């Protein structure tokens, strides 16, 4: 089994058969955030290189001399498909924009800057073109001279961060050298831009660190670090229940990044008090990532508009439930039973409106009904009536207690907006990461 730069006594992070990083220090917090607890696995002997098998035997034998019974620890690992890791990378502030910034920093050549000459150093776009044209599997099966290919496109291209460039063999080793200019997690995010890489497994083989006594087994806690978890504050218990169940059912790849507050768990209530909480956290200087969600109705928008980025700071964000095209002409029932197709965006779209209201219950399907009159806005407030059956039906469907087709398009839009807000927050508050400088962690 060919594996680039194999180091069997070190903890390794790999994408398919490509080594992303090998390290003696665990870095367990940032790498553990890539995986959920359900991603724990044990590597089979077939998955281990002969050198790794020898290292396992040596480490276990050495530990037994000192009375440490660590048999079986070497093969411990975490595994997840790259496709299911993209949002996790971005929530840890490793987006493609971050990769670009890392590249600009790592590839900067001060010699050309001081001489005011155009730099021939390979651009990020040129590196990305190569990444997109050659997937990891193809380079393993049919090694390509990537340096020569790039020089054919631009003769004066320069790779200032690569030493002994003529000694690097074609194929995966050259790809590794090209990407070595950015931190390991930025490398993975760049490799995810090639769709042929998305079904490869990302494997964090942390077992050697346990066998080598570099890290205690109980210290490997998979899941996002506490500092990266997002607290989602909603207007009430119903919103929290629905969005949390939807996240676990429809977006399980990132569900463990989010925690939810309901009115039964905190001493405030209603849309008007969420701004007070967000402003209070800002004034206290609490470095707690919080996103407040308001209903897409009159009261929700009134509270949302009372907030500014300055008033809530970088650690807090606010959003309303999203406007949807389907809401621009939605069946409603007005005072006196008048049925009309009206636009409910911004005035009558509570969380229940994002559920599948076409599913029947004991008293028939629920409807969007115009309720109380808002004097200041001179509009009616919209409510789903009855509101409990759609919620109960959805929660049962999420838990598998109710079957049948379910239209998740509206509630999925809510999740996409929430995840988008969380990803947008990541670069604003930074992340607990080790300093990267000139191709190595410090």
Q: Measuring CA to CA, how many Å separate 126 from each of 112, 157, 184?
A: 19, 10, 19
Residue identified by tokens 């919620």 is: 391
Residue-level pLDDT at 116 = 54
Residue-level pLDDT at 71 = 67
**CB neighbourhood size of 129 (10 A):** 14
Distance CA 367, CA 358 (A): 9
Q: What angle do CA 192, 193, 196 make, to 5 degrees?
A: 70
Residue-level pLDDT at 251 = 97
Residue-level pLDDT at 279 = 82
- Whether the CB-CB separation of 347 and 379 falls below 8 Å is answered with yes
Residue-level pLDDT at 118 = 61
Q: Which sign, positive or negative, has the C-alpha torsion 235, 239, 245, 249?
A: negative
Pairing, β 201-205 against β 76-81? antiparallel
- Whether the CB-CB separation of 217 and 210 falls below 8 Å is answered with yes
- Give the residues across from 261 on adjacent strands: 233
User: In 3-state terms, what secondary structure has residue 126?
Assistant: helix
- Whether the CB-CB separation of 197 and 3 falls below 8 Å is answered with no
CB-count exposure of residue 317 (10 Å: 0-12, 13-18, 19+): buried
What are the structural domain ranges in the chain?
A: 11-223, 226-442
Residue-level pLDDT at 436 = 34
Number of separate helices (H) and strands (E) present in the chain = 17, 17
Distance CA 107, CA 127 (A): 11
Residue-level pLDDT at 3 = 44
Pairing, β 367-374 against β 348-349? unpaired
First to last CA, the chain: 31
Q: State the DSSP H helix or E strand holding residue 151, giving kind and residue range, or none if neither.
A: helix 146-153
pLDDT tens for the chain, 442 residues long, are 444 445 556 788 999 999 898 877 655 567 889 999 999 999 988 888 777 777 777 777 777 666 666 667 888 999 999 999 999 999 999 999 999 999 988 887 655 554 555 668 899 999 999 999 999 999 999 999 999 999 999 988 888 888 888 899 999 999 999 999 999 999 999 999 999 999 999 999 988 888 777 777 788 889 998 888 999 999 888 999 999 999 999 999 999 999 998 644 665 555 457 878 888 777 777 778 999 999 999 888 988 888 876 778 788 889 999 999 999 999 889 876 788 888 999 998 999 999 998 886 666 678 888 888 777 777 887 888 888 889 999 999 999 988 889 999 999 999 999 999 999 988 877 644 433 333 333 2
Residue-level pLDDT at 68 = 64
Q: State the DSSP H helix or E strand holding residue 220, giving kind and residue range, or none if neither.
A: none
State the DSSP string of 384-422.
Answer: EES-HHHHHHHHHHHTTSS-S----HHHHHHHHHHHHHH
């Amino acid at each position: 089994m060919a594996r680039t730069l194999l180091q069997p006594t070190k903890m390794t992070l790999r994408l398919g058969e490509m080594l992303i990083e090998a390290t003696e220090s665990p870095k367990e917090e940032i790498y553990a955030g890539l995986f959920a607890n359900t991603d724990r696995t044990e590597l089979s002997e077939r998955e281990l290189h002969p050198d790794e098998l020898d290292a396992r035997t040596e480490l276990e034998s050495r530990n037994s001399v000192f009375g440490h019974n660590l048999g079986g620890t070497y093969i411990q690992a975490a595994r997840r498909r790259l496709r299911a890791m993209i949002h996790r990378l971005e929530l840890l502030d490793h987006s493609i924009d971050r990769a670009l910034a890392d590249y600009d920093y790592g590839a900067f050549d001060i010699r050309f800057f001081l001489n005011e000459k155009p730099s021939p150093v390979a651009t990020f776009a040129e590196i990305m073109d190569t990444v997109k044209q050659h997937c990891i599997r193809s380079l393993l099966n049919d090694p390509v001279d990537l340096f020569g290919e790039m020089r054919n496109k631009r003769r004066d291209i320069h790779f200032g961060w690569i030493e002994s460039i003529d000694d690097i063999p074609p194929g995966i080793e050259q790809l590794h050298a090209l990407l070595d200019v950015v931190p390991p997690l930025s490398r993975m995010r760049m490799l995810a831009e090639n769709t042929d890489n998305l079904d490869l497994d990302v494997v964090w083989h942390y077992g050697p660190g346990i066998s080598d006594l570099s890290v205690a087994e109980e210290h490997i806690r998979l899941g996002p670090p506490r500092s990266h978890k997002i607290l989602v504050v909603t207007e009430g218990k119903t919103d929290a229940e629905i969005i949390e169940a939807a996240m676990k059912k429809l977006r399980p790849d990132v569900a463990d990044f989010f925690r939810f507050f309901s009115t039964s768990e905190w001493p405030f209530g209603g849309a008007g008090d969420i701004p007070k909480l967000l402003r209070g956290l800002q004034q206290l200087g609490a470095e707690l990532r919080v996103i407040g969600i308001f209903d897409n109705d009159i009261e929700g928008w009134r509270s949302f508009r009372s907030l500014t980025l300055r008033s809530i700071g970088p650690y807090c964000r606010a959003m309303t439930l999203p406007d949807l095209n389907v809401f621009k002409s939605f069946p409603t029932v007005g005072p006196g039973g008048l049925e009309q197709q009206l636009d409910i965006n911004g005035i009558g779209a509570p969380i229940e409106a994002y559920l599948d209201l076409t599913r029947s219950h004991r008293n028939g399907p629920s409807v969007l009904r115009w309720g109380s009159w808002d004097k200041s806005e001179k509009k009616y407030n919209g409510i789903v009536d009855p509101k409990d059956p759609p919620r109960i039906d959805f929660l049962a469907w999420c838990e598998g207690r109710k079957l049948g087709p379910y239209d998740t398009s509206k509630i999925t839009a809510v999740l996409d907006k929430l995840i988008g807000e969380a990803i947008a927050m990541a670069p604003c508050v930074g992340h607990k990461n080790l300093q990267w400088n000139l191709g190595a962690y410090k």
